[in-house]
C-alpha cells in the first residue's frame, strides 16, 4: 500500500513537472531567413524570463509548416505563406494557423561605387543573371564583363531573389556564389565590374545600391510597397496565443522597441516604427 | 600469495594489451564507419537520380524547379585547382627541399626549416581570408602586370640555366683554344632571343585584365603555398635519410656535386619525394575553406578548359556551401547528392593513396634489385 502511494505521488510530481515544462517550453522551427530573428528573440526572452526554454531550429519554411501541423513545434517561422495543401493538412489535424508578420525583407542590387551605372530595371537584373546581358556596355556603362555574384543556394536571401527576380528561371552558370551578405558586400566593394545583392540592412557607403524600376531601396520604400524585391517574413502559431502567455509575449516581441532594434541589427526592416 | 600476484599481473597485462589494441583499432573503426555512413546516405541519390546525370551534365541547379544535379563542372573545377596547386607547389617544394638538404649550409637549414613548417600550422581560414580580401583585389587591379612579372620570374632563371647547358653542349666539337669565345657567342645570342621573347610575352600579358579575382588561379596559388610545407618537410627528410655514406661514396668515385645530387641522392630518396608530393596534393584536393571563400564557386567548365582566370567550383566547397540547415530535408535528392559527392571525393583520395603506395613498393623493389 505504501509503495502504491509512493508511485502515485511520483506520477503526480512527474505530471506536474511535465505540465510546467509545457508552458515554459517553446519550440520554433522553419525558415533560415527568419531563423536569426527567432534566435535573437529567444535569447532576449530567455534572459528576461530565466525559467523559459526556447529552442530554435532552421530546417526550411516547408519543414516549419510540417512541424506545426504535426504539433512538434509551437511556432513555425516562415519566409512564405502556408500553401493551400499545408492549410488543408493543418485543418485536418485540427490546427488553426495564425500568421504574424514579424519583419520585412528587402534585397538591394549593389555595384562598385566607381560604376557609372545609375539604375536598373527588374527586367535588366533578370537578363543579367540569366546571362543574356554580359557586359556593362550593353547598359551604357564601361566595356567590362559583368561579374555576377549571388548568395549560396540555401540562404533565404537567395530564395527571395530567386522568387522575386528570377521567377523560377535558372541563374547563368558563370555566376559566383558567396557564403554571406557580408562576403557579397566585400566582393562588390573590391571588384569594379561586379553586380551582387544583399539584404537592405547590409547597405553602407562602401557599395552603391541601384534604384530598381526607379525606386531607391530603403526601409521606407519596402514598407510602402513600392520597392519590388521585397517580401514579408512570418511566424505562424496554432490559434492566436493565449494573451499574456510566454508564447504570446515571444511572438509579439517584434512590436516592442527592443524587438525592432534587434530586427534592424540583423538586417531586416521592422513592420512598425517605434 | 605469489601465485595470486602473478595471476593478477597476467590479468593486468591482458587488459592493458586489450586496451592498446582497442585504441589502435579505434582509428580504423572510425574510418570504416565514416565510409559506411557516407555510402549509406549516398546510395539513395543514385537510386533516385541514376548515375548518368551526376557525371555527364554540367547543369548544377540543386534548388531549381525541377532540380538538376550535373556535377561534371564541379569535378573539372576540383581537378583544375589541384593541377594548379601541383604546378605551384611541386617544383618549388622539391627545389626547396634539395636546397635545404644538400646546398645551403647546415645552420641556415636549422633556421629555415622550422619557419617553413610554421606555414603548415596556419589555419586555412586565415589563408582564405588573405586570398579573398587581399589577393583577389590585387589580381583584379594589377592582374596583367602581376602575370608578366611572374613570367619573368619563372622564365628568366630557367632560361639562363638552359642557355648555359645548351651553349656548353653546342660548343663541344669546337677547338679548345676558341671554345670559350664560341660558348660566349652562342650564350649571348640565345640570351638575346630569350629576352626578346619575354618582352613580347610580358607586353601581351600586361594587356590581360582579370575581371574577377576569385578564380582558379588565385586558389591554385594559395593551395600551392598551403601544400608547400608538407612537401618540403617530407621530401627534405627523405633526402637527409639517403645518408652521408652514399654522398661521400659518390664524391669518392669522382662525381661532381650536381652528378651526385641528380644521379645518386635524388633517385635514392625518390620514393620519399613521391610520397611528399602525394601528401601535398591530398592537402590541396581536400582543402575546403580557401576554395569556398576564394574560388568564386561558379559551377562552369572554364573555356578553354585551362583558363585559370575563370571562377570555378570544387567538390569540397560544394559540400560545405550547400550543407546548410535548409537542406537537411531527409530523403530529398538535394540532401543525398552531397553525400554522393563526398563519396566520390573519398574514392579519389583512396585511389591517390593506393597509387602512392604502389609507387613506393615498386621503387623499393627496384632499389632492392640494384643493391
Q: What is the pLDDT of residues A23-65, one digit of tens each?
A: 689 999 988 788 889 999 999 999 999 989 999 987 777 888 8
Inspect the interface and report whether the beta carbons of A32 and B325 lie closer than 8 Å.
yes
Q: List b or e across A72-107, with b for residues whose CB sees 16 or more CB atoms inside 10 angstroms.
A: ebbbbbbbbbbeeebbebbeeeebebeebebbbbbb
Asked if B298 and A173 come within 8 Å (Cβ–Cβ), the reply is yes
Of A62, A147, A162, nearest to B212 by CB-CB distance is A147
Chain pair A-B, CB pairs under 8 angstroms: 94
**Per-residue pLDDT at B53 exceeds 60:** yes
- The reply to whether residue B324 touches residue A32, judged by beta carbons under 8 angstroms, is yes
Given a contact cutoff of 8 angstroms between Cβ atoms, the answer to whether A178 and A150 are in contact is yes
- Top mean pLDDT of A110-114, B66-70, B102-106 is at A110-114
- Domain A105-223 in this protein, CATH class: alpha beta
Q: Which residues of B touch A63 (CB under 8 A)?
A: 329
Which residues are registered as beta bridge partners of A176? Answer: A149
Judging contacts by C-beta atoms under 8 Å, the chain B residues touching residue A59 are 325-326, 328-329
Residue B324 and residue A155: Cβ atoms within 8 Å? yes
List CB contacts (< 8 A) between B300 and chain A: 173-174
What ipTM describes this predicted complex? 0.78
Are the C-beta atoms of residues A177 and A151 closer than 8 Å to each other?
Answer: yes
What is the distance between the alpha carbons of residues B234 and B223, in angstroms, rounded to a whole number?
A: 17
Q: Which CATH superfamily is domain A2-104+233-266 in?
A: Periplasmic binding protein-like II (3.40.190.10)
How far is residue B206's CA from residue B204's CA, in Å, rounded to a whole number? 5
Choose between A92 and B326: higher pLDDT: A92
B212:A176 CB<8 A = yes
C-alpha cell at B204: 601581351
Place of cell 512538434: A72
Q: Over 90: is that where the pLDDT of A249 sits? A: yes
Query: Per DSSP, what are the bridge partners of residue A101?
Result: A234
CB contact (8 A) between residue A152 and residue B293? no
pLDDT band at B371 (very low <50, low <70, confident <90, very high): very low
Q: Does A191 touch chain B (CB under 8 A)?
A: yes
H-run or E-run covering B359: helix B333-370
Contacts of B59 in chain A (CB under 8 A): 170, 173
Q: Return the C-alpha cell found at B140.
A: 583584379
Which one of A59, A145, A174 has the shortest CB-CB distance to B298?
A: A174
Mean pLDDT in residue range B199-212: 88
Q: Min CA distance, B123 vs chain A (Å)? A: 19
State what percent of residues in chain A have pLDDT above 70. 91
Confidence at residue A18, expressed as pLDDT on a 0 to 100 scale: 40
- According to DSSP, the β-strands at B60-61 and B68-69 are antiparallel
Give residue A1's pLDDT: 44
Task: Give the closest residue to A33 by CA, choosing from A76, A69, A90, A1.
Answer: A76
User: CATH 3.40.190.10 occupies which residues in chain A?
Assistant: 2-104+233-266, 105-223
pLDDT of residue A19: 40
The Cα A21–Cα A39 span in angstroms is 20
CB-based contact B298 A59, cutoff 8 Å: no
- d(CA B289, CA B133) in angstroms, rounded, equals 14
| Those residues with Cβ within 8 angstroms of residue A215's Cβ, 6 or more apart along the chain or in another chain | A221, A226, A227, A228
H or E element in which residue B133 lies: none
Looking at CA atoms only, how far is residue A21 from chain B in angstroms? 27
How many angstroms separate the CA atoms of B248 and B244, rounded? 6
Residue B47: pLDDT band with limits 50, 70, 90: confident
Comparing CA positions, the residue from A50, A79, A85 lying closest to residue A64 is: A79
User: To the nearest 10°, the Cα dihedral for A197, A203, A207, A208?
Assistant: 80
At A13, the pLDDT band (50, 70, 90 cuts) reads very low
3-state secondary structure chain A: CHHHHHHHHHHHHHHHHHHHHHHHEEEEEECCCCHHHHHHHHHHHHHHCCCCEEEEEECCHHHHHHHHHCCCCCEEEECCCCCHHHHHHHHHCCCCEEEEEEEEEEEEEEECCCCCCCCECHHHHHHHHHCCCCEHHHHCCCCCECEEEEECCCCHHHHHHHHHHHCCCCCCCCCEEECCHHHHHHHHHHCCCEEEEEEHHHCCCCCEEECECCECCCHHHHHCCCCCCEEEEEEEEECCCCCCCHHHHHHHHHHCHHHHHHHHHHCCEECCCC
Q: Are A150 and A197 in contact (CB under 8 A)?
A: yes
Distances (CA, A) of B14 to A75, B8, B17, B21: 56, 10, 5, 11
The pLDDT of residue B208: 86
The confidence band for A14, taking pLDDT boundaries of 50, 70 and 90, is very low
Cβ of A176 within 8 Å of Cβ of B296? The answer is yes
Could you tell me if B189 and B79 are in contact, meaning their C-beta atoms sit under 8 angstroms apart? Answer: no
How far, in Å, are A78, A122, B94, B266, B275 from residue B231 at the CA level?
A: 50, 51, 7, 14, 9
What average pLDDT score do residues A238-248 get? 93
Q: Is the pLDDT of residue A125 over 90?
A: yes
Higher pLDDT, B2 or A173: A173
Specify the 3-state DSSP secondary structure of B80. Answer: helix
Q: How far apart are CA B161 and CA B270, in angstroms?
A: 23
Q: Averaged over A76-91, what is the pLDDT?
A: 88
Which of B317, B326, B327 would best serve as a mutation to test chain A binding (most A beta carbons within 10 A)?
Answer: B326
Which A positions 21-40 lie with beta carbon below 8 A of chain B? 32, 35
Question: Residue A32: its chain B contacts at CB < 8 A?
Answer: 324-326
Residues 6+ apart with CB under 8 A from B288: B124, B316, B317, B319, B320
pLDDT tens by residue, B262-300: 889 988 888 888 888 888 888 888 899 999 989 988 988
Amino acid at each position: 500500500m505504501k509503495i502504491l502511494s509512493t508511485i502515485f505521488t511520483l506520477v503526480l510530481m512527474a505530471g506536474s513537472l511535465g505540465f510546467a515544462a509545457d508552458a515554459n517550453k517553446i519550440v520554433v522551427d522553419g525558415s533560415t531567413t527568419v531563423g536569426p530573428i527567432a534566435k535573437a528573440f529567444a535569447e532576449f526572452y530567455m534572459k528576461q524570463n530565466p525559467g523559459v526554454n526556447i529552442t530554435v531550429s532552421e530546417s526550411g519554411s516547408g519543414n516549419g509548416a510540417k512541424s506545426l501541423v504535426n504539433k512538434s513545434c509551437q511556432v513555425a517561422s516562415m519566409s512564405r505563406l502556408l500553401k493551400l495543401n499545408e492549410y488543408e493538412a493543418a485543418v485536418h489535424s485540427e490546427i488553426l494557423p495564425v500568421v504574424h508578420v514579424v519583419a520585412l525583407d528587402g534585397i538591394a542590387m549593389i555595384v562598385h561605387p566607381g560604376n557609372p551605372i545609375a539604375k536598373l530595371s527588374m527586367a535588366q537584373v533578370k537578363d543579367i543573371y540569366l546571362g543574356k546581358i554580359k557586359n556593362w556596355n550593353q547598359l551604357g556603362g564601361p566595356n567590362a564583363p559583368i561579374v555576377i555574384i549571388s548568395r549560396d543556394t540555401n540562404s533565404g536571401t537567395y530564395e527571395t531573389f530567386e522568387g522575386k527576380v528570377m521567377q523560377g528561371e535558372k541563374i547563368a552558370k558563370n555566376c559566383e556564389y558567396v557564403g554571406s551578405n557580408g562576403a557579397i558586400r566585400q566582393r562588390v566593394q573590391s571588384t569594379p565590374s561586379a553586380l551582387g545583392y544583399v539584404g537592405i540592412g547590409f547597405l553602407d557607403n562602401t557599395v552603391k545600391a541601384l534604384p530598381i524600376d526607379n525606386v531607391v531601396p530603403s526601409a521606407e520604400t519596402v514598407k510602402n510597397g513600392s520597392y519590388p524585391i521585397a517580401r514579408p517574413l512570418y511566424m505562424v502559431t496554432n490559434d492566436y496565443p493565449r494573451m499574456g502567455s510566454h508564447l504570446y509575449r515571444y511572438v509579439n516581441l517584434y512590436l516592442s522597441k527592443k524587438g525592432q532594434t534587434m530586427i534592424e541589427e540583423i538586417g531586416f526592416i521592422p513592420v512598425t516604427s517605434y | 600469495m605469489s601465485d595470486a600476484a602473478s595471476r593478477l599481473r597476467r590479468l593486468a597485462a591482458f587488459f592493458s594489451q586489450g586496451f592498446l589494441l582497442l585504441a589502435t583499432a579505434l582509428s580504423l573503426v572510425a574510418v570504416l564507419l565514416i565510409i559506411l555512413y557516407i555510402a549509406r546516405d549516398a546510395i539513395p541519390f543514385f537510386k533516385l537520380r541514376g548515375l548518368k546525370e551526376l557525371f555527364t551534365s554540367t547543369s548544377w541547379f540543386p534548388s531549381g524547379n525541377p532540380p538538376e544535379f550535373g556535377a561534371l563542372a564541379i569535378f573539372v573545377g576540383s581537378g583544375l585547382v589541384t593541377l594548379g596547386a601541383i604546378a605551384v607547389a611541386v617544383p618549388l617544394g622539391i627545389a626547396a627541399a634539395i636546397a635545404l638538404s644538400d646546398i645551403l649550409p647546415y645552420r641556415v637549414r636549422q633556421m629555415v626549416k622550422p619557419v617553413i613548417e610554421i606555414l603548415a600550422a596556419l589555419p586555412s581560414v586565415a589563408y582564405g581570408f588573405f586570398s579573398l580580401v587581399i589577393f583577389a583585389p590585387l589580381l583584379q587591379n594589377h592582374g596583367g602586370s602581376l602575370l608578366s612579372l611572374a613570367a619573368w620570374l619563372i622564365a628568366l632563371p630557367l632560361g639562363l640555366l638552359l642557355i648555359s647547358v645548351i651553349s656548353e653542349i653546342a660548343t663541344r666539337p669546337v677547338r679548345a683554344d676558341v671554345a670559350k669565345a664560341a660558348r660566349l657567342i652562342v650564350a649571348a645570342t640565345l640570351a638575346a632571343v630569350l629576352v626578346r621573347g619575354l618582352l613580347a610575352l610580358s607586353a601581351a600579358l600586361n594587356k590581360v585584365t582579370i575581371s574577377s579575382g576569385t578564380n582558379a588561379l588565385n586558389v591554385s596559388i594559395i593551395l600551392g603555398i598551403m601544400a608547400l610545407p608538407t612537401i618540403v618537410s617530407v621530401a627534405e627528410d627523405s633526402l637527409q635519410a639517403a645518408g652521408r655514406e652514399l654522398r661521400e661514396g659518390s664524391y669518392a668515385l669522382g662525381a661532381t656535386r650536381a652528378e651526385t645530387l641528380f644521379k645518386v641522392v635524388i633517385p635514392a630518396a625518390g620514393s620519399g619525394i613521391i610520397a611528399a608530393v602525394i601528401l601535398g596534393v591530398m592537402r590541396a584536393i581536400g582543402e575546403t575553406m580557401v576554395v569556398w571563400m576564394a574560388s568564386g564557386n561558379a559551377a562552369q567548365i572554364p573555356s578553354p578548359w585551362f583558363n585559370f582566370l575563370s571562377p570555378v567550383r570544387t567538390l569540397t566547397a560544394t559540400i560545405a556551401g550547400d550543407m546548410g540547415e535548409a537542406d537537411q530535408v531527409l530523403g530529398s535528392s538535394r540532401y543525398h547528392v552531397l553525400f554522393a559527392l563526398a563519396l566520390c571525393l573519398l574514392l579519389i583520395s583512396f585511389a591517390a593513396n593506393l597509387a602512392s603506395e604502389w609507387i613506393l613498393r615498386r621503387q623499393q623493389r627496384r632499389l632492392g634489385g640494384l643493391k
